[in-house]
Structure 1
Amino acid sequence: MSTLVALARAQALAAGRAQPIATVRHLHVHDRPLVLIPFAMAGEANAPLAAMLGTSESEPRLLVVGQPRNRDERFAFTASLAEAVVPYLASFGEGATEAVPVDRGRDVRHRFVDAPQVWVPNPGGVDFLRLLGRSTRFRRTDGDHPVPPAVPLLGQWLTFLAASAEVPGSALLVNAVQALGLHWATGQSAAEDAHLGSLFAWITSGPEAARAAEQGPVAGPATDPDFDNRVLAPLMSSAPAELVAALRDLLMPTWERMWQSLALLRALPAGARVGLRWDTDRDVYSAFVAHLEEDGTPQPRRDGAVAAAARLQRLENAAARYAVQRAFDDPLVMAEHRLTGAAFGGVVSLAKADRIDDTGKRPVLRPRIMVATTEPVRVEPGASLTSPARPSQKAKVISVTPTGSGSDVLLELSGGMGRKLVAEPGSVPVIGEHLLLTTLSEAYRPGAAFPDPADTPWTHGGPPAHSSAHHEDPAAAPG
């Protein structure tokens, strides 16, 4: 927990109302999302009991498993779930595409103009979908115990969505608890925030409403064992119609809160870089649709060593990029970096926009500016800084001079000013301009060079090891 979030939680407790920790919305909210509330029976590993889903608040669809321990009923439920979910997911792959330049404009690729978005109540819902995908994507549609063709296809889609949910900033599969917690801080613990009803009540009404919500139905994905014993078990054996009604009553409050949470988030203005991350989601979605059309093989049970290392690096790069983008979009997020000394703000007191550096082989434009700041400056000469207002421009620290009220920071600028020896208008900060500078950067991070799996040791998926005796030249052996 960061310092400012801890402070916001203390203020929320004192004020009796959740405190905003963001000034903009940091994720894409679709105009037509699919809300999915999975529900499983407590004590049974991934035994689905029910699911409420739909793309309209007024038209929820409830799927129920009469007996979760019955294999046939579980797969019939999964087939019904596939009939409801797969058409929504695949429909965006039937729409229009757009050309995207690649290789510096020398080529183009195509991606769909939109992609699906699925919302679940909490991280447990994401885990449930991941397990359901893993247990269904390898099922056979022929032979012993066949399943409907839609079942393994649903498994592939759920595995794809669950994998995307691990990528920081992705919005293909979103859980409401995490989305709300990204924008508001409550006066309760993180464990209590995991209850969607309590979290939503804290944000909209306060702690009294949150305490009342804690006594209400949970958002899954597992039922309450007491509910299983008192309500579920008797209805399973004697009253199927009453079972459906009981589960509908149990899930409807969560269904309503999910849509209210979406409305709450839509009311916030989207961050400037949210669209860029959604573009990446559309790229990923387009690639997966192409895979289903061209190959269609299910995802492997587990990654090999090289694939796992490459995936880990992609996730690390995505996390670093997401942190920078959130800070650049949101002054409240950037304030945390200003506290740690990774950023500071000031006013341009001097500027020489036409300075030319001719010490190299050819003259280059290198303007210099002086920034007066009253904030602590914890950067050394030679450090490279960036301003969110001009993210493509680098500012090299030449010197830091203490003053009576703070520091004067002399900076040399490069990039983002055009290709001529005269800076384009507005590309160089002017005297009197308020400037925010940070060590954070959106610069591209190249991927590491990983070996081919065949070139790795047998311990990492490569060819098996052979003793040197197997490779001795018989002619070289002593006679």
Structure 2
Amino acid sequence: MSLNALLAARAHTEGRAQPTALFRHRAITETPIGIVAWQLGAEPYSVGAIAIGQSSSGFRAFVPGYPLDRDLLFAALLDFAHEFCTRFESYTAGPVTVRKHFGAGVVVPVLLPQIVVPNRETIALLGRLGRRLAYLPTAPVGDRKPADPLLPRLGRHLMWIAEYAQLPGQQLALPIAELLATHYATAMSAFEVQSLPAMNAWIDPPAGIHGFVAAQQAERLSIGPIPDPKDGQDIFAMMQLFNLQRKRSTDPKLIAKLIPSLRERYVSMIEATWDLMWAIINREKTKPEAASVIRRAQADCLAYAEHMQWMNGPAEGRRKTRMTARNAAMRLNEYEQTQARLEAEEAIDDPLRMAPHLLAGKAFAGTVIASDSGRTEIVNARNCLRPSVTVRTDVPCLMQPGTDLWWTCGASGREWKISHITPNGTGSTVTLILQTNRLSDSPVPTIGQRTCFSLFNLKEGYELFLPVQAPWTHRLPVPAIDSDLEHTDDGGLAA
């Protein structure tokens, strides 16, 4: 039985979700930017309502009324853009540091410009909305009015945020449902844990109520971005009435007079999601933060600084809509290396996250019974320092001699090689040799110390170098070009 299955069984027995980590492995800032959005039915590139705020006490909601009307939608999104861009870009005016990146100085904010949303579907909606707005013409085109320059700027922010949110372990865009799903185990399926109300009910059920029953009741709450069918039908009827009463008018005074009932319906839906989201944020914020969270937050701040530099540069945030083969390979390499480093950091920081790897034979833990920091051996005809330690484990070590491992307290240093393994009662006695002659490269455990050695390390991954032009083996075949020579009357023979 895997550890996750064991925790799921315990959650069902106790009626409450079981933590899968001793620490919180995602940053939660003091004042993140909260966003709740509601999609307009089956229209994926529009919103019926969108709200923004930075505290549990309140938010500003923007409701276009009839989003299928371009002018009404853009008017509401322009008001949202003023709020969002002001908040999101304000981090560049706060405390900053100058960091070297690719040989150039980059002004990086000290505080993480974090955005919190209920779930990953909301991030996808913001990304689609960004694609719609990012390249709107800001100059007159025929009879169509030009868009306010702030709308394309908003769109380019949202496109970048949605793209960056795909990076494993990033904390700039934090889906709360995903935060809970990665930190707790329940008796729900992988699909069911994406429901924020149900997941939260398992974690904190009412007194005397089993988590399953609490989740069954809570999952009826729709948190967006797609509304509940009943809410969707009511909104559709109210929207149709609003559209009929306005008689194609977009006059702000008339719209403000007709929209209150529709706005109130959306605000009531936003409030339910808003209160739930911030209650979870305030609860999870109190848990201790893992050590590696700071490093990833700094990487997020650097990525944000590069984005703002691009937004304020000559390109004004414009990006390619399609990746070349080289871009795709570089992106895939970045995602794979980031995922591997994230898994390593979480396991090294958190004993509970290391537990599945101990069961899988990717690590072993025990007590140091011998340590020789002055040990030497002949390497390439030279007498070199090769410190050694001997560890007694409580269970048999499943690894083989010659395996390279890293001590969790020195995962950034040099590797330890298993010299030999001797059965010892119910466990094993494992001797490891540090593969360096400089103790400054890696610390050495002391006798009596509880240690853990694993396959995980925190060294930088291989840097991928690819040619700017794809080699001929990776190019699409060029179609043959018809020439006059192939259609001459003399059978294609040149005169």
TM-score by length of 2: 0.87
Counterpart in 2 of 1:170? Answer: 170
Change (3 A) 1:441 1:457: same
**1:46 partner SS:** strand
1:45 aligns with 2:39: no
Counterpart selection for 1:228 from 222, 229, 232? 232
Closer, same or farther in 2 for the Cα pair 1:214/1:359, shift >3 Å?
closer
Alignment of 1:140 with 2:160, yes or no, is no
1:344 Cα deviation from its structure 2 partner: 0.7
Per the alignment, residue 337 of structure 1 pairs with 357
In 1, Cα distance between equivalents of 2:41 and 2:28: 31
State the 1:434 CA deviation: 1.2
CA shift, 1:227, in A, is: 2.1
Which residue among 327, 330, 335 is the counterpart of 1:310? 330
> Which runs of 5 or more structure 2 residues have no equivalent in the other structure?
206-210, 243-257, 484-493
State which of 270, 282, 302 in structure 2 corresponds to 1:263.
Answer: 282
SS in 2 for 1:49: strand
Give the RMSD, CA atoms, in angstroms. 2.7
| 1:164 aligned partner, one-letter code | Y
Superposition pairs for residues 147-226 of structure 1, below 5 Å? 147-205=147-205, 206-216=211-221, 218-226=222-230
Partners of 2:421 and 2:378 lie apart in 1 by 24
Question: Secondary structure in 2 aligned to 1:230?
Answer: helix
3-state secondary structure, aligned to 2:389: strand
- Could you tell me which residue of structure 2 aligns to residue 474 of structure 1? none
Give ranges in structure 1 of 5+ residues lacking alignment: 470-477
Show the counterpart of 2:12: 13
| Structure 2 SS opposite 1:40 | strand
Q: Residue 361 and residue 88 in structure 1: after superposition, are their counterparts in 2 closer, same or farther (change >3 A)?
A: farther
Q: 1:107 to 1:173 in 2, by over 3 A?
A: closer
2:386, 2:437 within 8 Å by CA — same for their partners in 1? no
Change (3 A) 1:161 1:143: same
Determine whether 1:354 maps to 2:374: yes
307-316 vs 225-234, which moves further: 225-234
- How many aligned positions are there? 462
Which amino acid in 2 is paired with 1:414?
A: Q
Corresponding residue of 1:70: 69
Matched, 1:436 2:452: yes
SS of match in other structure, 2:322: coil
Residue aligned with 2:24, SS: coil
Distance 2:265 2:438 in 1: 65
Do 1:16 and 1:187's aligned partners in 2 also have CA atoms closer than 8 Å? no
Per-residue deviation at 1:5? 2.0
SS of match in other structure, 1:377: coil
By how many angstroms is 1:122 displaced?
0.8
For the residue of structure 1 that corresponds to 2:44, the secondary structure is coil
Matches within 5 A, 1:278-317: 278-295=297-314, 296-317=316-337
Deviation at 1:362, TM superposition (A): 4.9
The whole-number CA distance in structure 1 between the counterparts of 2:349 and 2:414 is: 17
Q: Which amino acid aligns with 2:282?
A: A
| Counterpart for residue 400 of structure 1 | 421
- Correspondence 1:446-457 to 2 at 5 A: 446-453=462-469, 455=471
What is the distance in 2 between the residues matched to 1:107 and 1:303?
25
Shift of residue 428 of structure 1?
1.6
- Correspondence for 2:490: none
Contact 1:417 1:428 survives alignment (8 Å): no
Q: Would you say the 8 A contact 2:44–2:125 is kept in 1? A: no
Match of 1:86 in 2: 85
Does the 8 Å CA contact 1:139/1:152 hold for their aligned counterparts?
yes
Separation in structure 2 between the aligned mates of residue 458 and residue 345 of structure 1, nearest angstrom: 46
Alpha-carbon distance between aligned partners in 2 of 1:458 and 1:150, rounded to the nearest angstrom: 40
Q: What are the superposed Cα offsets for residues 253-279 of structure 1, whole Å, 9 maximum, x if unpaired?
A: 110011111112111100011100001
Deviation digits for residues 440-469 of structure 1 (CA, Å, limit 9, x no counterpart) = 122211122212136556846x9x6888x9
Could you report, residue by residue, the CA deviation over 1:324-376 in whole angstroms, capped at 9, with x for unpaired residues?
11111111110000010001111112221111234336543211111111223
Report the TM-score when normalising by structure 1.
Answer: 0.90
Q: CA deviation at 1:134?
A: 1.3
1:381 maps to which of 395, 401, 419: 401
Structure 2 counterpart of 1:396, which letter? K
| 2:87 match: secondary structure | helix
- The letter of the residue matching 2:377 is D
User: What's the counterpart of residue 3 of structure 2?
Assistant: 4
Residues 353/107 of structure 1: CA separation in 2 closer, same or farther (3 Å cut): farther
Deviations 1:410-461 (A, max 9, x none): 1101359545xxx99xx3212221110101122211122212136556846x
CA distance in 1 between partners of 2:232 and 2:454 (Å): 54
The residue aligned with 1:29 is 28
Q: How far apart are the structure 1 equivalents of 2:55 and 2:424? A: 60
- Contact 2:396–2:426, Cα closer than 8 Å, also in 1: no
Compared with structure 1, are the counterparts of its residues 416 and 18 closer, same or farther at alpha carbon in structure 2 (3 Å cutoff)?
farther
Q: Which residue does the alignment assign to 2:116? A: 119
Residue equivalent to 2:241: 237
What is the CA–CA distance in structure 2 between the aligned matches of 1:456 and 1:42, rounded to whole Å? 46
1:60: Cα distance to partner? 1.0
**Pairing partner for 1:445 from 461, 474, 479:** 461
2:119–2:196: 8 Å Cα contact kept in structure 1? yes
Report the Cα distance in structure 2 between the residues aligned to 1:359 and 1:58, rounded to whole angstroms. 67
Mapped contact 2:20–2:185 kept (Cα < 8 A) = yes
Q: SS state of the match for residue 436, structure 1?
A: strand
Distance 1:67 1:353, change over 3 A: same
Decide which of 242, 249, 252 is 2:268's aligned counterpart: 249
Distance 1:187 1:430, change over 3 A: same
Cα deviation, residue 209, structure 1: 3.0
Provide closer, same or farther for how the CA distance between residues 87 and 258 of structure 1 changes in structure 2, counting only shifts above 3 A: same
2:104 & 2:126 partners in 1: Cα distance?
Answer: 37
Distance 2:46 2:384 in 1: 66
SS of residue in 1 equivalent to 2:415: strand
